[in-house]
Amino acid sequence: MTTFHTLIRDVPDFPKPGVVFKDIGPLLADPAGFAACIDALVAQWHGTAVDAVCGIESRGFIFGAAMAQAMKTGFVPLRKVGKLPPPTLGIDYDLEYGSARLEIGAEGFAPGTRVLLVDDVLATGGTFDAARRLLEQAGATVVGAGVVIEIDALRGRTRWPGAIPMHALLHC
């Protein structure tokens, strides 16, 4: 099996001094590595009923869409403000360096729709928390979350409800 974690490159001092950016570009460019990563993400949810995979813009789209295909289910994007045609549902949230907004199509989900939330990195947890709240506002039941990388020192998992499983493939 390809060790996909070796394909993630550390970029020191990007986007600002003191930050070590996790570059997934080499992982995405390697067919065997990317396939192994998707297989590992999907394996975490074997036996869990999932009606849709929801990916957070933008890199969550890459992993979420591939997971949805592998899981034979739909994919629903959570977009940055102004990227979806109206009507939309949205949620504003704070980041460590400002504020942001996530949106989803206002058609929402049928009652009981079970969704899995996916992104590339869990850092401080603000985006994941907002995404979960937006999905619940849209009528979905969030059954879990998955990330490729969790930056443990930033303690983002503390913002995630303990009753909803979250799996990370790599811990930094």
Q: How far apart are CA 30 and CA 161, in angstroms?
A: 34
More confident of the two residues 95 and 90: 90
51-75 pLDDT, tens per residue?
Answer: 999 999 999 999 999 999 999 999 9
Task: Catalogue the active-site residues.
Answer: 59, 96
Q: Tell me what pLDDT residue 108 has.
A: 82
26-50 pLDDT, tens per residue?
Answer: 999 999 999 999 999 999 999 999 9
14 pLDDT above the threshold of 80 = yes
Q: Are 156 and 127 in contact (CB under 8 A)?
A: no
Q: How far apart are the first and last CA of the chain?
A: 21
Q: Tell me what pLDDT residue 1 has.
A: 46
Strand, coil or helix: 45: coil
Strand, coil or helix: 125: coil
Residues with Cβ within 8 Å of residue 23, at least 6 apart in sequence: 8, 9, 10, 11
Query: Where does residue 99 rank: exposed (0-12), middle (13-18), buried (19+ CB within 10 A)?
Result: exposed
Q: Tell me what pLDDT residue 28 has.
A: 97
Domain 47-171, what fold?
A: Rossmann fold (3.40.50)
101-158 pLDDT, tens per residue?
Answer: 999 999 889 988 999 999 999 999 999 999 999 999 999 999 999 999 999 999 999 9
Provide the pLDDT confidence category of residue 2 given band limits of 50, 70 and 90.
low
Q: Could you give the residue ranges of the DSSP H alpha helices within 6-117?
A: 25-29, 31-43, 59-71
Q: What is the mean pLDDT of residues 83-109?
A: 91
Q: How far apart are CA 78 and CA 36, in angstroms?
A: 25
Residue extents of the structural domains in the chain: 47-171
Q: Tell me what pLDDT residue 42 has.
A: 98
- Quick one: what percent of the chain has pLDDT higher than 90? 86
